[in-house]
Structure 1
Amino acid sequence: MNPPSCPTQTRLYEDGTVIAEGFPAGQAARKLAAHPRAVLWLDLDDPEMADLAAIAEPFHLHPLAIEDAAQDHEAPKLQRYPGHLFLNVYALDIAADGDRLRLTKHEISAFVTDRALITVRKSSIDTAPLVQRWDADAALTAAGGVSFLLYGLLAVVVEGQFAAALRLDSAMDAVEDALLEEGAAPRPVRMRGVALRKLVAAVRRPVAPMPDLVSQAMRTDEGHLIDERLQPYYRDVEEHARHTVDEVEHLRDRIEGVLQADLAEQGNVLNDTTRKLAAWAAVIAVPTALTGFFGQNLPYPGYMTAWGFVLSTAVIAASAAGLYVYLRKRGWL
């Protein structure tokens, strides 16, 4: 096998023990042949099409699966091909960016054969949690082989998605408190709520298909790639995936409800302001109508003089400016 030119990681497991790791990817096929009971993990970091083509022949990977692995932004899915599965999932990471949250999605594709798990990372992501999960339950490797390696991958991805959902839930508490204060929330607070709604929608897209995807992986009717002894572990991952979906759906309903409540509060504040302005207009309109009806044009101090004109103009301007400042402070302008 011609070695891929992209960075790679390798591990060879036999009877629950790592018997080799860090060897060149070009030696993977020979090591599997030399150890008939061993299973392989081969990781490709941001490979080119030529790198994927280099592993396609020795592992008998379908051309359509290779094409999907080469493409970015594929939907989460699990597809069955003769002799192997193709998996595409997203690991999620939410980090604070000032007073906002930033979502990073790491796309991971995987080929699952009867003796190898080949992962394709399309962005920089730490594989240490994955290796730690395998090492923590090394005894299951002997029982499940590649099924256990796939279980570890799915478990780490689902746990990361659930952690992202919890981070959103904590952030929503602060936004909810600010939006539901008495009176309509300031525009920056509302925009934080809108941004959070967009973030929840972005998280939901890779999370929603995961329960069905894990359920599909448990089916052993084609190729028997998933060991039946690991079915309880897969069911546990499926339950975590469904819990994550429920949490994200709850967050979506929650932020929609909060934004709708703030919108209703804005309407209440607007109605209150309109009522106050109408009352002021009535107070001013009644004397104006009476004096206009009786035609009361009374001389004022400085009437028919230049300084009287300046004084009256100044009084009008000061009254208008004072009313503007008052209304501005009340937030009506």
Structure 2
Amino acid sequence: MARTRLYRDGDLEAEDFPVADISDHLADPTAVVWLDMAAPTEDDFATIGEELGLHRLAVEDALHAQQRPKVDRYDTHGFLNAYAVHLDTPSGELQTIEVSAFITEQTLVTVRKSDDFDIDAVVQRWDDAEDLAGSGVGYLVHGLLDYVVDSHFDAVQQRRSLRLRKSLVTLRRVDYQDVYDHVLRASEWTESLRDLVATIRDTQLNIQGNRLNTIMKQVTSWAAIIAVPTAITGFYGQNIPYPGLQQPWGFWTSTIAILALSGGLYTVFKRRGWL
């Protein structure tokens, strides 16, 4: 079912009139007409396409889903394709909802590929800013794009830093570049979240590295302490005469040296926080 609106001199004059009446309204240069079509067929486009001089390639893009976000300029009209997004909170999945629009000096024709696109929300934005209706078709296009970009921003605000990383990349890919102020904010949120995920991972790796360094310091410190008695007893175990050989004072000298050097190393390592 098609929906229609007629604005004249910035005032909403009629709604839901027959599509066949559009040509009569457009005869008045002060009139602006909006036509909305949900999942139209080629037959639906036959009359309106000829009347508005819609280009065949643009009509094909409007009829087929999964077109890239774009703005094309033809001789008699412009063609716009964009994506609104919706975040499914329980699953964390990001859904994209495609919408196309034909733009002439007096008309805006919106083409929704499915009823998932909330056209009522767009109409509400127009009604909330009815003081701007005197701007003509630009007023209608701005309301449409403002809704599309705000859906991106709302989805980013419901972020989950790790589970939504894939969805945020999808959001960035379908992001539309008009209504620049809102798009820029959505892009900055997306980039900051990706940086946050990378920072969390780097922090985890740094913590693991610090723990490993602490363990290595402790192992090295104890190895140095154990090496002292090994070195001294090994030295005195050589088959050559040495001071204190077979004398009590030689035994006590080596024992005191072991204890003093080991205790000294322990104190040094303890003060440095290695033990």
Deviation, structure 1 residue 25: 2.0
Say if 1:45 and 1:121, in contact at 8 Å, map to a contact too: yes
AA paired with 2:33? L
Matched, 1:96 2:38: no
Check 1:262–1:197 CA distance in 2 against 1; reply closer, same or farther (3 A cut): farther
Determine which of 11, 15, 29 is the counterpart of 2:9: 15
Determine which of 206, 227, 235 is the counterpart of 2:174: 206
Structure 1 stretches of at least 4 aligned residues deviating more than 3 Å after TM superposition: 259-269
Say if 2:41 and 2:63, in contact at 8 Å, map to a contact too: yes
TM alignment of 1:169-184, pairs within 5 A: 171-172=160-161
Check 1:266–1:204 CA distance in 2 against 1; reply closer, same or farther (3 A cut): farther
Matched, 1:116 2:112: no
Query: Who is 1:125 aligned against?
Result: 117
Determine which of 33, 51, 55 is the counterpart of 1:40: 33
> Structure 2: which 5+ residue stretches go unaligned?
217-275
Deviation, structure 1 residue 54: 3.4
Deviation, structure 1 residue 247: 1.4
Q: Give the whole-Å Cα distance in 1 for the aligned partners of 2:63 and 2:210.
A: 54
Q: Give the whole-Å Cα distance in 1 for the aligned partners of 2:208 and 2:99.
A: 44
AA paired with 1:197? R
Determine which of 124, 127, 133 is the counterpart of 1:135: 127
Query: Who is 1:166 aligned against?
Result: 157
Q: Give the whole-Å Cα distance in 2 for the aligned partners of 1:128 and 1:159.
A: 15
Tell me the TM-score normalized by structure 2. 0.71
Determine which of 196, 206, 223 is the counterpart of 2:164: 196
Check 1:52–1:261 CA distance in 2 against 1; reply closer, same or farther (3 A cut): farther
Check 1:259–1:69 CA distance in 2 against 1; reply closer, same or farther (3 A cut): farther
Deviation, structure 1 residue 267: 7.6
Deviation, structure 1 residue 57: 0.5
Say if 2:98 and 2:117, in contact at 8 Å, map to a contact too: no
Determine which of 130, 148, 154 is the counterpart of 1:157: 148
Check 1:251–1:152 CA distance in 2 against 1; reply closer, same or farther (3 A cut): same
Query: Who is 1:226 aligned against?
Result: none
Bigger mean CA deviation after superposition, 124-133 or 56-65: 124-133
> Helix, strand or coil: the match of 1:74?
coil
Determine which of 56, 59, 74 is the counterpart of 1:63: 56
Query: Who is 1:314 aligned against?
Result: none
Query: Who is 2:190 aligned against?
Result: 248
Identity over aligned residues, as a percent?
Answer: 39
> Structure 1: which 5+ residue stretches go unaligned?
1-6, 173-192, 215-236, 276-333
> Helix, strand or coil: the match of 2:57?
helix
Say if 1:204 and 1:248, in contact at 8 Å, map to a contact too: yes
Q: Give the whole-Å Cα distance in 2 for the aligned partners of 1:202 and 1:133.
A: 26
Query: Who is 1:219 aligned against?
Result: none
> Helix, strand or coil: the match of 1:110?
strand
Deviation, structure 1 residue 78: 0.7
Q: Give the whole-Å Cα distance in 2 for the aligned partners of 1:112 and 1:91.
A: 18
Deviation, structure 1 residue 29: 1.8
Tell me the TM-score normalized by structure 1. 0.59
Say if 1:10 and 1:25, in contact at 8 Å, map to a contact too: yes
Check 1:259–1:26 CA distance in 2 against 1; reply closer, same or farther (3 A cut): farther
Could you say which structure has the larger radius of gyration? 2
> Helix, strand or coil: the match of 1:72?
coil
Deviation, structure 1 residue 263: 5.8
> Helix, strand or coil: the match of 1:43?
strand
Check 1:262–1:122 CA distance in 2 against 1; reply closer, same or farther (3 A cut): farther
Q: Give the whole-Å Cα distance in 1 for the aligned partners of 2:173 and 2:48.
A: 30
Determine which of 24, 29, 34 is the counterpart of 1:30: 24
Say if 1:197 and 1:256, in contact at 8 Å, map to a contact too: no
Over the aligned positions, Cα root-mean-square deviation in angstroms equals: 2.3
Query: Who is 2:224 aligned against?
Result: none
Deviation, structure 1 residue 26: 2.6
Matched, 1:239 2:230: no
Deviation, structure 1 residue 17: 1.4
